[in-house]
A and B are shown apart, each in its own frame.
Chain A
Amino acid sequence: MPAAPWQPSALTAEPLVQLVDHAGQRRVDDVSAPYEPLARALDADALRTFYRDMTLTRRFDEESTSLQRQGELALFTQSKGQEAAQIGSAHAMRPQDWAFPAYREHGVLLVRGVPLRQELHLFRGIDHGGWDTEQHRVHLNTLVIGSHALHATGYAMGMSRDGLVGTGDPTKDEATVVYFGDGATSQGDVSEAFNFAAVNQAPIVFFCQNNQWAISVPGELQYRGPLSRRGEGFGVPGVRVDGNDALAVYAVTKTALDKARAGGGPTLIEAVTFRRGAHTTSDDPTRYRSETEEKYWAERDPIDRIVALLKAEGAWSDSFAARVQAEGDEFADELRTYVRSLGRPDPMTMFDNVYTTPHAINEAEREWMRQYDASFKKGGSR
């Protein structure tokens, strides 16, 4: 008897919402049925937008990785393979909602209109967060694992306090989505965030991208209880979704967000996906991952899946594909030129914005640096 094909335990352990299988065929079962109408409501244009955004996100990944290899960036955090989880969930948000990303949510930033080149300021060493958070309603990247789950929860508690939850007016009601990975679920801050969110019935969606690996540590060494049920003990219901199925992710996230905005409290979504790239450009997955596993997930790539769906439904054309390709080429070209053109910030800016009002030590060191610098300029050297 032939051995059963390899499958990750994460895919088989618990019921999974899936609306499009990896061959691009729509499907529905008891678990996914409640979400199916929301996915059906997406027209061909919406699906093409999903494809376009996922493609540009991957292009961003590829270009940024190249830039890092060329020494133009100190580091880059890839999102390859997680595009459906990010694009599907971000499209489920309304303009008034807020996203709190970790550090590989490039697709979410793209959908929210954050110029992705500004995200590279962090990796280029220009600043620690280059975009206007209020304008895009996207908080800065957070590198300390899971700490932003609490910021997002507090922010969502503020939405409730501001009376912007459960008004019944869809243009007013707000919610927050916080993104983190499977590794972050081991952090106390994430558990504390579940608890605070539940106690306060905060309008928040905890969006866990279970990409199977916390750097080199696999799921089976990270947790025993299913992640989708991690919130239950706190009073946060969970849903498990195929994170490589953009339609299912969209439908599940929209359902959770609508509930949160209406005053129904928090939801935890576990999007089961796979980080096809490395954790960061400093990582080497060949040391800890098998080719079998990578091949399994390559066959379930989220972009291939939506292409297959678009083709199956007659929504694909070569001219459309060429347009997206051309847009990607232009985007990549601009990105390269932009990154290489980035200068060095004025060193004196390190003293700016440490405090909102003058702080004697900070001011004294600024003045010392100014005079030290000036002493070189007088001599005409340095």
Chain B
Amino acid sequence: MNQPSQMVLAKALGQAMRAALAADEKVVLMGEDIGPLGGVFRVTDGLQAEFGTDRVVDTPLAESGIVGTAIGLALRGYRPVVEIQFDGFVFPAFDQITTQLAKLHSRSRGRLRVPVVIRIPFGGGIGAVEHHSESPEALFAHTAGLRVVSPANPADAYVMLQEAISSDDPVIFLEPKGQYWTKGDVDLAAGPYGSAAVAGPAVTQRFDTLNKARIAREGDDVTLIAYGPSVATALKAAAAAETEGTSIEVVDLRAISPFDMATVNSSVAKTGRAIVVHEAPVFFGAGGELAARITEECFYELEAPVLRVGGFHAPYPPAKIEHEYLPGLDRVLDAVDRSLSF
């Protein structure tokens, strides 16, 4: 039995790539500044020194070029793991991702596979400048053929990134940049490539994090559904509500496309109340889709309408007022009160 190691989420992601690089020579990391610099957030720190410039490739600064050539490499049998430097910079590659990457498997009637992982630091709250704090997940989740996932803690980050790399489907891997420095326990033997990271027997446990949600906290009165950075907010809200005698269950979706409706439904059936929390604008967002499905599937269990807490239908604001835009503790608790008032 391996002892879990304490590490921050950013480090867990780096360790996941390290394990994948060690286990599978077809894994190639590509992106701007991921080499000697280790990425702008140092997520790939040390990987080029360890695996060489052929496996950890500093590319020209061209998002469409990075994703487009990754598609070509994937067609050739490689498993490219691509880093886009920030959420707001993914759009030059949006065409490659949505019209090409997402569809080649289907267009070829299953003959072609394009196992590309696109890592994108996403979300706000770090006081960054324009285009550095956005949440584009709905745009990708709306595209059939892509899997869209976001981990909320270091242990999941470690396993989920490995599962994304080992998946034959293209995966949009959204890294909650506001949580990069959150510490937690990580079992380095876990995950499909984990055994390459530590000496010892291969771990056979299947996590299936790309399909299965996680109950981050159990409760009876209200279900908060969140993913990525909003899980931390939901957990804080649950802790605060407990002091007032409200018992909140937190579902960490992990995956947005597909989301695990079975776990969501059983939690909502138990509590009778559901609130979706995400940083992205509420309008046409993932919360709308979840709310509609919960209404369809749990109509008779619901004690209140499904509520949504998220960003506004406005461009992400300047950093000095981003906390008024982001769904913080107070807005979540306000929604909890509204739900309980029905």
Interface residue ranges, A against B (CB under 8 Å): 127-130, 132-134, 139-140, 142, 144, 147, 149-159, 161-162, 188-189, 192-193, 195-196, 199, 352-362, 364
Name A156's contact: one of B68, B72, B77, B92 (CB within 8 Å). B72
Q: Complex: how many Å from CA A15 to CA B113?
A: 43
Name B211's contact: one of A129, A195, A360 (CB within 8 Å). A360
Name A139's contact: one of B67, B75, B109 (CB within 8 Å). B75
A140 touches B95 (CB 8 A): no
Q: Complex: how many Å from CA A130 to CA B70?
A: 23
A158 touches B78 (CB 8 A): yes
Q: Complex: how many Å from CA A158 to CA B73?
A: 5
Stretch among B58-66, B119-127, B128-136, B178-186 lining the A interface: B58-66
A196 touches B106 (CB 8 A): no
Which chain A residues lie closer than 8 Å to B71 at the CB level? 150-151, 154
* B169 contacts A by Cβ under 8 Å: yes
Q: Complex: how many Å from CA A189 to CA B94?
A: 12
B65 touches A140 (CB 8 A): no
B100 touches A147 (CB 8 A): yes
* 22 A–B pairs (Cβ distance < 8 Å), ordered by A: A140-B104, A140-B108, A147-B99, A150-B64, A151-B100, A154-B68, A155-B72, A155-B75, A155-B76, A158-B77, A161-B54, A162-B76, A192-B62, A195-B62, A196-B60, A352-B109, A352-B110, A353-B110, A354-B105, A355-B105, A360-B260, A364-B261
Which chain B residues lie closer than 8 Å to A352 at the CB level? 106, 109-110
A195 touches B72 (CB 8 A): no
Q: A144-B99, A151-B75 are contacts. A356–B258 as well, Cβ < 8 Å?
A: no
Which chain A residues lie closer than 8 Å to B260 at the CB level? 360
Which chain A residues lie closer than 8 Å to B96 at the CB level? 147, 150, 189
Name B107's contact: one of A140, A157, A362 (CB within 8 Å). A140
Q: Complex: how many Å from CA A348 to CA B71?
A: 27
B103 to nearest A CB, angstroms?
8
* B167 contacts A by Cβ under 8 Å: yes
Q: A150-B72, A360-B259 are contacts. A189–B106 as well, Cβ < 8 Å?
A: no
Q: Which residue of A lies closest to B99 (CB)?
A: A144
- For chain B, the bracket of interface size reads 35 or more
A63 to nearest B CB, angstroms?
25
A153 touches B72 (CB 8 A): yes
Q: A151-B75, A155-B76, A354-B144 are contacts. A134–B258 as well, Cβ < 8 Å?
A: no
A360 touches B68 (CB 8 A): no
B106 touches A128 (CB 8 A): yes
Name A196's contact: one of B69, B74, B107, B169 (CB within 8 Å). B69
Name B111's contact: one of A134, A162, A364 (CB within 8 Å). A134
Q: Which residue of B lies closest to A122 (CB)?
A: B107
Beyond A156-B72, A357-B167, A361-B258, 11 additional pairs, beta carbon < 8 A: A129-B108, A151-B100, A153-B72, A154-B71, A157-B69, A158-B72, A158-B77, A161-B73, A195-B60, A196-B65, A355-B105
The 5 lowest CB-CB distance pairs between A and B, nearest first, are A154-B72, A150-B68, A158-B76, A154-B69, A192-B65
| Residues of chain B in range 118-172 having any CB-CB distance to chain A below 8 Å | 144-145, 147, 167-169
A356 touches B77 (CB 8 A): no
Which chain A residues lie closer than 8 Å to B167 at the CB level? 356-357
Q: Complex: how many Å from CA A139 to CA B261?
A: 37
Most buried by A among B28, B70, B108: B108
Which chain A residues lie closer than 8 Å to B103 at the CB level? 128
Q: Complex: how many Å from CA A161 to CA B110?
A: 25
A304 to nearest B CB, angstroms?
37
What 1/0 flags go to B198-231 for Cβ under 8 Å of A?
A: 0000000000000100000000000000000000
A355 touches B62 (CB 8 A): no
* B112 contacts A by Cβ under 8 Å: yes
Name B108's contact: one of A133, A147, A199 (CB within 8 Å). A133
Q: A147-B100, A155-B75 are contacts. A192–B68 as well, Cβ < 8 Å?
A: yes
Which chain B residues lie closer than 8 Å to A127 at the CB level? 107, 109
B64 touches A192 (CB 8 A): yes
* B257 contacts A by Cβ under 8 Å: yes
B26 to nearest A CB, angstroms?
9
Which chain B residues lie closer than 8 Å to A159 at the CB level? 76
A153 touches B211 (CB 8 A): no
B76 touches A154 (CB 8 A): yes
A165 to nearest B CB, angstroms?
13
Name B68's contact: one of A133, A153, A355 (CB within 8 Å). A153
Q: Complex: how many Å from CA A356 to CA B109?
A: 11
Q: Which residue of A lies closest to B145 (CB)?
A: A354
B257 touches A150 (CB 8 A): no
Q: Which residue of B lies closest to A154 (CB)?
A: B72
Q: Which residue of B lies closest to A142 (CB)?
A: B100
B207 to nearest A CB, angstroms?
14
B258 touches A359 (CB 8 A): yes
Q: Complex: how many Å from CA A362 to CA B75?
A: 24
Q: Complex: how many Å from CA A133 to CA B261?
A: 37
Q: Complex: how many Å from CA A127 to CA B77?
A: 24
B109 touches A196 (CB 8 A): no
B68 touches A356 (CB 8 A): no
Which chain B residues lie closer than 8 Å to A357 at the CB level? 167-169
B56 to nearest A CB, angstroms?
13
Which chain B residues lie closer than 8 Å to A140 at the CB level? 104, 107-108, 112
Which chain B residues lie closer than 8 Å to A358 at the CB level? 211
Q: Complex: how many Å from CA A325 to CA B65?
A: 45
Q: Complex: how many Å from CA A313 to CA B149?
A: 66
Q: Which residue of B lies closest to A178 (CB)?
A: B72
Which chain A residues lie closer than 8 Å to B111 at the CB level? 132-134
A155 touches B73 (CB 8 A): yes
Q: Complex: how many Å from CA A161 to CA B108?
A: 25
A147 touches B62 (CB 8 A): no
A58 to nearest B CB, angstroms?
28
Q: Which residue of B lies closest to A159 (CB)?
A: B76
Q: Which residue of B lies closest to A151 (CB)?
A: B72
Q: Which residue of A lies closest to B70 (CB)?
A: A154
